[in-house]
Chain A
Amino acid sequence: MKMGIGEIYSLEALSENNTCIHKLHPRVKLLCAFIFIVIVVSYGRYDFLGLVPCVLYTTVVMALAEVPFSMLLKRYLVALPFCFLAGIANVFIDRAPVITIGSVTITAGIISLATILLRSYLCVVAVLLLVATTCFTDITNQLRKFHVPEIIVEVFEMIYRYIAVLVTDAKSMYHAYVLRSVKKNGIDIRHMGSFVGYLVIKSFDNAQRVHSAMIVRGYGRSGPIHLRMVRKMTVGDWLYLVLVPIVLLALRIVHPL
């Protein structure tokens, strides 16, 4: 329960900036992020050097979009442990020496660990940059344009908004619980049922009330209102959508390092 609500929505807060990256069409950003990840993941498992130029892309976008590096790094560190565990095994198993610099021998396992870590950095940052530069409603409207079923998009939107409500509720319940118990750093498993169970009941009722209130005010009567606000692709958008994948593919194929 360490994460505050401010932290949950901090990335979204950045998406209200107005830089050249923010101004790109959401479709372009969504597709480019996806293409970037597919290309990054397609590099071979020892291909550390091949991946390095990809760092250029994320760094440039990060700087242009004015996204603070520390914020991305913090989230990358959260994602790190599993990748590290899977990669560290390679170090012990794959001991074939590859290069020796002085008395230090670098094995294939170390290279593949480094590759996994760099690769996960690139993937994580690509996704976070997408979210930090695109409004939430832009993303969901784009999903609608991609013909994702309405019910999925709607649930997706609502979960995202309900999280704040639920975390606030859960937090105050948690505080109340901790204040009444001695020397505990979590909820006793015996009380977990009534704790979450009560949260379930409370929020089901809340959700139905909120939803009725929304319907009374006209929600869902004429389809999502902001869908009409999605703008057309400009020449710049098309250029970005064509050029970035070409450059990335070229890097993938030419392999400059």
Chain B
Amino acid sequence: MHMADALLSPAVGGTMYAVSGAALAYSVVKIKNTDLSDKKVPIMAVSGAMVFTAQMINFTIPATGSSGHIGGGMLLAALLGGGPALIALACVLAIQCLFFADGGLLALGANIFNMGVIPCLLIYPLIYKPIVKGGMNKIRITIASIIAVIVSLQIGAFAVVLETMASGITELPFSSFIILMQPIHLAIGIVEGIVTALIVSFVHSARPEILDQSKDGRKLLNKVKTKTVVITLGIFTLVVGGVVSLFASSHPDGLEWSIAGVTGDTELATKGTIFDAFASLQEKLAFLPDYDFAHGGIGGISGTTVSGIIGALITFAIAGIIGLSISIYKKKHKREY
């Protein structure tokens, strides 16, 4: 479910950064108010590292022969409580993005929202907590985990679809994207729900105080605060929906849109002798110079020629040559010393 940079537009990425940033800030303030922050830090860190590790452990799914791994948002929330879980998960996602190319830097905000904010701040207080409220036992934990994980994965998958659609990079129609995403994540959700339930009930039977501790932390919040979370998130969702649809409606992206606003065209007019010289040079060198890419109806392709492809190949070659020569030069230089 990690979204990559390549599938997001800057407008959507930026908006999601703002939303997740606000949610994170909210969690930080909440933890500071509970005054447990000093004791919580190592626990949060180790739980985050644990989710990271758990994602590397493949488990076999019975009767299918295939294997999968857990996502861990709800597991963290059950162990730590919503706010700390969100912070830990955001850090895990940041590390995965920075060191393992899993999800992108621009997409980090969206990923934190889909996999962190939804399970930790939304589903955990609204579904998990009410079910286990009456007293923790194996059955309640199992029911709560499975339902909560399935619901949060469904909403998360739906958010992925919305964000991708708003970015307008894939051609996949909305309906088939939904049909593709939701059932897959239902299957993943059932398995992850069961695994989460197994882990939480094991911890509950072996060392209940680990779970109880986070429960005490939660007791400090009264109902009003939970309500505030929901309301804040609701408002944010509306704002996001508004902003995203504004950007996504007819303009391919913010930067192009703003350039168009300045010059009246999506590309700046290039004038001057140097450009003319290059243009004529390009025309002379170009292979099939007047072949047009554009066939009415395809919006983004703007009169590029096959010469462009050749140009691309040449650029790749130049890049390779520059790279190679720098490293060869460096190696020689080192040997001299």
Chain A interface (Cβ < 8 Å from any Cβ of B): 1, 3, 8, 11-12, 33-34, 37-42, 44-49, 52-53, 55-56, 59-60, 62-64, 66, 75-76, 78-79, 82-83, 86-87, 89-90, 93-94, 96-99, 101, 108-109, 111-112, 116-117, 119-120, 123-124, 126-128, 130-131, 139, 149, 151-152, 154-160, 162-163, 165-167, 170, 174, 184-190, 192-201, 203-204, 206-208, 210-211, 220, 252-257
Instruction: Tell me the chain B residues, 67-111 only, with Cβ under 8 Å from chain A.
Output: 67, 79, 87-88, 90-92, 94-95, 97-102, 104-106
Q: Which of chain A's residues have a CB closer than 8 A to the CB of B87?
A: 151-152, 155
A-B contacts, 12 listed (Cβ < 8 Å): A37-B106, A38-B10, A46-B300, A48-B312, A120-B6, A123-B106, A130-B98, A151-B31, A155-B91, A163-B52, A167-B56, A186-B60
Quick one: given A159-B52, A253-B267, are A189 and B60 in contact (CB under 8 Å)?
yes
Instruction: Tell me the chain B residues, 202-256 only, with Cβ under 8 Å from chain A.
Output: 202-203, 206-207, 210, 252-256
Q: What is the 8 Å Cβ interface bit string for chain B, positions 183-196, against chain A (1 contact, 0 not)?
A: 00000000100110
Instruction: Report the separation of the CA atoms of residues A49 and B282 in the bound assembly, to the nearest whole angstrom.
Output: 14
Decide: B57 and A196 in contact? CB cutoff 8 A: yes
Decide: B56 and A1 in contact? CB cutoff 8 A: yes
Q: Which of chain A's residues have a CB closer than 8 A to the CB of B41?
A: 151, 154-155, 158, 211
Most interface-central of A3, A53, A220 (chain B CB within 10 A): A53
**What is the minimal beta-carbon distance from A17 to any residue of chain B, in angstroms?**
11
Indicate if B306 sits at the interface (CB-CB under 8 A). yes
Interface residues on B, range: 35 or more
Instruction: Report the separation of the CA atoms of residues A98 and B8 in the bound assembly, to the nearest whole angstrom.
Output: 24
Chain B interface (Cβ < 8 Å from any Cβ of A): 2-10, 13, 24-25, 28, 31-32, 37-38, 41-50, 52-54, 56-62, 67, 79, 87-88, 90-92, 94-95, 97-102, 104-106, 164, 168-173, 191, 194-195, 197-203, 206-207, 210, 252-256, 259, 267-268, 270, 275, 278, 291, 293, 295, 297-298, 300-301, 304, 306, 308-309, 311-312, 315-316, 318-320, 322-324, 326-327, 330
Q: Which of chain B's residues have a CB closer than 8 A to the CB of A75?
A: 100-101
Decide: B10 and A41 in contact? CB cutoff 8 A: yes
Instruction: Report the separation of the CA atoms of residues A80 and B38 in the bound assembly, to the nearest whole angstrom.
Output: 39
Instruction: Report the separation of the CA atoms of residues A126 and B298 in the bound assembly, to the nearest whole angstrom.
Output: 30
Identity of the chain B residue whose Cβ is nearest the Cβ of A160 in the assembled complex = B95
Decide: B164 and A86 in contact? CB cutoff 8 A: yes
Decide: B91 and A152 in contact? CB cutoff 8 A: yes
Decide: A42 and B255 in contact? CB cutoff 8 A: yes
Most interface-central of B2, B97, B171 (chain A CB within 10 A): B171
Quick one: given A64-B326, A89-B171, are A108 and B195 in contact (CB under 8 Å)?
no
Decide: A166 and B52 in contact? CB cutoff 8 A: yes
Decide: B293 and A98 in contact? CB cutoff 8 A: yes
